[in-house]
Structure formats: C-alpha cells, structure tokens
Amino acid sequence: MQLHVNGTAYEVDVEPEMPLLWALRDVVGLVGTKYGCGVAYCGACTVLVDGQATRSCMLPASAVAGREITTIEGLREGDALHRVQQAWIEHQVPQCGYCQSGQIMAAVALLREKPTPTDEEIDAAMTSVCRCGTYGRIRAAIHAAAKA
C-alpha cells in the first residue's frame, strides 16, 4: 500500500491491520511518534491524518492508505521549527518529553480548527495524558503559538 507521510509517498509492504504507529516507526523509519498505552488513550502516538489529530496505535495502516499523514518530523517549515514547536521550547513545556510529539500534533490540529482557542477549547482538545502534569505550560504555549 502507499502511505503519504510528510509530503512523501512510501510504498510499504505491511499487513493491512498493522497499526499505523508501527508502519511509521518500523517500516518508514520515522520514530518521533511514540508508543504509549497501545489502546489509543494516552495520545503519545498522535499524528495528523488529513489535518486531524489521530491516535495511530490502534489505527490500521490500510485505513489511511492514500491519505495525507503528518508526523512530528513533518512539522518543520524549511529550517524553522513550526510555531507550536517553538512555543513549546519558549514555555519550557516538556519535563520528561515522552508524550510531547503527540501533544504538539494535537495542538497543531487545534490551532488549524480554532486559530485563537479559549482555555476551555484547549482543555477539550488536549486529551493526551501527561504524567509530568505540565498542562498549564501546554495551555500557555498554545496561546503563544496562536499569537505567532
């Protein structure tokens, strides 16, 4: 099947039911998307599929064949970080950092849908589980990225 990832088409020879997460990590070689819980709860595996935040650990690769997939590696804009990535750095969001690629992808999707989200909209959209508990910094970074 063909996966369109970060603007590049990849021919992948995988079982149709293989989760997209493992196709991205083990076949395509993009390891920025993380495995967390394996049941689409924690959000560490979040990528964008046609611009929508999507948990990739339970999504069969065959379900997104031919659709546009964006991973954390695809957010860069030339040599510059995406405005959400930059805001994450400026607001020192990560502690351990493990869930951050999924958090960033969810924030990017939110800002595409709601360019100036309220705190309530941020809280509703940011459903990834962060054990470090940097939710206040996540909210501040999203507001900063909205103004960038």
Q: Determine the pLDDT at residue 18.
A: 98
d(CA 119, CA 126): 10
37 conformational bin, left if phi > 0, alpha if psi -120 to 50, beta if neither:
alpha
Of the candidates 58, 62, 48, 54, the one whose C-alpha atom is nearest the C-alpha of residue 7 is: 48
Give phi and psi for 87, each to the nearest 5. Answer: -65, -35
Q: What is the mean pLDDT of residues 93-115?
A: 95
Q: Which tokens in the block code for residue 23?
A: 């196709």
CB 30 within 8 A of CB 71: yes
Q: What is the mean pLDDT of residues 30-59?
A: 97
Q: What is the mean pLDDT of residues 29-54?
A: 97
Amino acid found at 72: I
Q: Determine the pLDDT at residue 130.
A: 85
pLDDT greater than 90 at residue 17? yes
Q: Determine the pLDDT at residue 58.
A: 97
Percent of the chain with pLDDT over 70: 100
The answer to whether the Cα torsion of 83, 89, 93, 95 is positive or negative is: positive
Q: Determine the pLDDT at residue 96.
A: 87
d(CA 95, CA 129): 13
Q: Determine the pLDDT at residue 132.
A: 84
User: Under DSSP, is residue 84 helix (H, G, I), strand (E, B) or coil?
Assistant: helix
pLDDT greater than 90 at residue 101? yes
| Domain 83-147 CATH assignment equals 2.40.30.30 | no
Amino acid found at 88: W
What is the value of pTM for the model shown? 0.95
Q: Determine the pLDDT at residue 52.
A: 97
Q: Determine the pLDDT at residue 2.
A: 97
CB 104 within 8 A of CB 75: yes
- For the chain, what are the domain ranges? 2-74, 83-147
Q: What is the mean pLDDT of residues 1-11?
A: 97
Q: Determine the pLDDT at residue 133.
A: 84
DSSP 8-state class, residue 11: E
Please determine whether the domains at 2-74 and 83-147 fall in the same fold group of CATH: no
How is domain 2-74 classified at the architecture level of CATH? Roll (3.10)
d(CA 132, CA 59): 26
